[in-house]
Amino acid sequence: MAYVTSEAPTRRELSACVQCGLCLPHCPTFRLTGRESAGPRGRLMAMSAVLDGVLTVDEAFDDAMSYCLQCRACEAVCPGLVPFGRAMEGARAELDAQRPSTRRSVRKLILGSVLPNRRLIGLATFGASVVQRLRLGRLLPGPIRSPFNGMRSLGGRQSWVGREALPAQDPIGTIGLLAGCVMDSWFGPVHDATIGVLTAAGYRVTVPEQQTCCGALAAHDGHTAVTRELAETNRNAFADVDLVVSDAAGCTAHLKDYDHWVDGGFQAEVRDATELVAELIDTGRLPIVPGERGTVAVQDPCHLRHAQRITTAPRSILSAAGYTPLEIDPDALCCGAAGIYSVLHPDTSQELGARKASQVLGSGAPVVASANPGCEMQLRSHLDGKIAVAHPVELYWRALSESRLDTSSRSGAL
Ligand code: SF4
Ligand code: SF4
């Protein structure tokens, strides 16, 4: 059977590929296997063959599509501007429609009903915090153990959802911050830092209660109806803000794509926290923090670098915080986290994670900056506590807070 959904890859998207192969060296799964069917060109050819009725959405098609990390490194280097991410989302939507399986239904339930449910995430967070406190992580099954080992210490934080933070003076505008499915419970210090920095720049920051999970993971797994529903909820929740900001690169990339999922998309512009903070430093709304703080390795999340094409911003933020950013991977290959990929393809994920961790350690820096929670967990799991991992905005906020403390204690001593 050829394609059956309106999300399917289109002739226009697929015919943009001229089969030049320039994307191949940038594709992690092609580099690991050397197989054409595990590279972007082969995957696009398979999608075209189904469109032409030469192939069907069968097991082999499922394997070729499911093995893709959706890192979009191929898209970023493609001279034909093939919208690979969109085509792959379409192929996954077809798999969801044409090859229903128990495993896919379980994933749909988790991505569509568990992740967007704050109460269930709260329960899962509580359970994980107990496992952390009792140091029972080693007893978890393999595919879950690695992400679990990459978690920050949980518990003891007040949620930002339903709250707002005000600047010292009249606000220059209102920012709606995406709480994220797990960002608020698992990465609270990143939200604290983002809100601290944005209010210091003069913004009122609100974290609307009515918002939900961004839907990126559901979209990547082909669950179209769920993705649309989540996008609709968020569009309404953020109707009254001037800017929508996310401090999780994977979420921001998906929010920027909302006009595909709901009519008109967001009314407000969407910005990644790194992008906005770098701009606020550039325009003098936020200061260059005095002092030198040593080196920091920079990890480029795929959905920051390849999907949003943001590379300068995290480095500028780190420099403004007094750090010397170190490059670790000129090829910017995926770290292997890739949403739920680490659970679905643990071996490949581990191989890519170990590669990235050795690049980080090879830099000699005592800390690595990553602007995406999935990458952060993958790095922490593979670095095994050898060096610290933090969001670039978090490092800037720490430096700014320390410098303010320093200034006020010095003025107090005078
Ligand atoms: S996807 Fe782009 S880079 Fe890759 S083979 Fe096709 S045209 Fe070339
Ligand atoms: S999205 Fe990433 S893994 Fe998938 S084909 Fe492109 S480069 Fe390869």
Residue 406 — pLDDT band, cuts 50, 70, 90? low
pLDDT at 112 (0 to 100): 85
The minimum-distance atom of ligand 1 relative to the CA of 77 is 3
pLDDT at 225 (0 to 100): 93
Average pLDDT, the chain: 93
What SS3 state is found at 110?
helix
Residue 323 — pLDDT band, cuts 50, 70, 90? very high
Residue 245 — pLDDT band, cuts 50, 70, 90? very high
- Residue 4 included in any domain: no
pLDDT surpasses 60 at 409: no
pLDDT, tens only, 102-124: 877 888 888 888 888 888 988 88
Residue pair 55/186 in contact (Cβ under 8 Å)? The answer is: no
Spell out which residues line ligand 1, taking CB within 6 angstroms. 17-23, 40-41, 44, 74, 78, 80, 82
The minimum-distance atom of ligand 1 relative to the CA of 20 is 8
115 and 30 share one domain: no
The pTM of the full predicted model, rounded to 2 decimals, is 0.93
Q: Of 243, 261, 282, which closes a domain? A: 282
pLDDT at 14 (0 to 100): 97
pLDDT, tens only, 380-389: 999 989 999 9
- Residue 109 included in any domain: yes
- Residue 414 included in any domain: no
- Residue 154 included in any domain: no
Does the beta carbon of 43 lie inside 6 Å of ligand 2? Answer: yes
- Residue 155 included in any domain: no
pLDDT surpasses 60 at 271: yes
pLDDT at 261 (0 to 100): 94
Residue 408 — pLDDT band, cuts 50, 70, 90? low
Ligand 1 centroid – CA 282 distance (Å): 35
Separation CA 202–CA 206 (nearest Å): 13
Ligand 1 centroid – CA 199 distance (Å): 43
pLDDT at 254 (0 to 100): 97
278 and 187 share one domain: yes
* Rounded average pLDDT over 306-311: 97
- Residue 300 included in any domain: yes
301 and 238 share one domain: no
* Rounded average pLDDT over 152-177: 92
pLDDT at 413 (0 to 100): 42
CATH of the domain at 82: 1.10.1060.10
pLDDT surpasses 80 at 353: yes
* Ligand with an atom nearest the CA of residue 28: 2
pLDDT, tens only, 68-99: 999 999 999 999 999 999 999 999 999 999 98
Q: Is 222 left (phi over 0), alpha (psi -120 to 50) or beta?
A: left
76 and 113 share one domain: no
pLDDT at 407 (0 to 100): 63
pLDDT at 124 (0 to 100): 87
142 and 205 share one domain: no
Percent of the chain with pLDDT over 70: 97
- Residue 3 included in any domain: no
* Ligand with an atom nearest the CA of residue 78: 1
Least confident of 133-142, 252-261, 356-365, 397-406: 133-142
For the chain, the domain total comes to: 4
Q: Of 282, 307, 328, which closes a domain? A: 282
How far, rounded to the nearest angstrom, does the alpha carbon of residue 230 sit from its chain's CA centroid?
17
CA atoms in the 13 A half-sphere facing the CB of 275: 21
* Rounded average pLDDT over 324-335: 95
- Residue 190 included in any domain: yes
28 and 93 share one domain: yes
Residue 414 — pLDDT band, cuts 50, 70, 90? very low
Separation CA 369–CA 359 (nearest Å): 13
Beta bridge partners of 269: 243
177 and 197 share one domain: yes
Separation CA 298–CA 290 (nearest Å): 21
Of the candidates 343, 298, 338, the one whose C-alpha atom is nearest the C-alpha of residue 317 is 298
Q: Of 149, 182, 206, which closes a domain? A: 149
CATH of the domain at 256: 3.40.50
117-128: burial string, b at 16+ Cβ within 10 Å, e else: ebeebeebbeeb
The minimum-distance atom of ligand 2 relative to the CA of 30 is 8
272 and 222 share one domain: yes
pLDDT at 265 (0 to 100): 87
pLDDT surpasses 60 at 412: no
Closest residue by Cα to atom 5, ligand 2, is: 40
Of the candidates 407, 404, 398, the one whose C-alpha atom is nearest the C-alpha of residue 322 is 398
169 and 260 share one domain: yes
60 and 110 share one domain: no
Q: Which domain holds residue 143?
A: 104-149
pLDDT at 255 (0 to 100): 97
219 and 271 share one domain: yes
* Rounded average pLDDT over 236-249: 97
Separation CA 83–CA 13 (nearest Å): 6
310 and 390 share one domain: yes
